[in-house]
Amino acid sequence: MSKNSASRPDAAVTLRRCLGNFATGVAIVTYDGPDGPRGLTVNSFTSVSLDPPLVLICVGINSRAAGLLPGASFAVNFLHARQGECARHFAGRASLTFELEWRRESGSPLLADSLAWLACEPWSVHEAGDHLIVLGRVVEFGAGDEDPLCFFRGAFQQFPPLSMSPSRA
């Protein structure tokens, strides 16, 4: 295993490559923009608290979303294994070859087809280097029955098919 220093000039690239070894789920954060629903692909998502129900996302400080999300309602849409193209679109890396369908369960726009979703009201925002940490209070949620889309070493991955039945102790 090689060791690197975070103070080297090329450390950001090397650190990004290192962090890519942590497999994550993929989510689209959706919110209302001035011209209709908007979204951005994130893999920096975490459940923070169950009481109160809080989650956090990280948003690049120079992104369009950073100017709109603080103080706004938003939704977190977890993607299923067949939604790689959708994730690439909202990451700004591809154009959709299909019509994107939206729906609303609460105040925020939701993707019509997702693995699960959380509708959130703003809780707090914190500056952290080149990102904003946005905390939201979950006000509604729902889940489907698909396999997740994952991100590992810079590419979308899929788990082998998973069973939704609970494990037996």
Please give the angle made by the CA atoms of 107, 71 and 140, to the nearest 5 degrees. Answer: 35
| Centroid of chain to Cα 120 | 13
Q: What is the pLDDT of residues 133-151, one digit of tens each?
A: 999 999 999 998 888 887 7
> Could you give the count of Cα atoms lying within 13 Å of 47 in the half-sphere of its Cβ?
9
Q: What is the pLDDT of residues 104-134, one digit of tens each?
A: 877 889 998 899 999 999 999 999 999 999 9
Segment 5-30 shows an average pLDDT of: 74
Task: Pick the more confident residue, 79 or 14.
Answer: 79
Does the pLDDT at position 39 exceed 80?
yes
What b/e readout covers 71-100, taking b as 16+ CB neighbours within 10 angstroms? ebbbbbbbbbbebbebbebbeeeeeeeeee
pLDDT band per the 50, 70, 90 thresholds, residue 74: very high
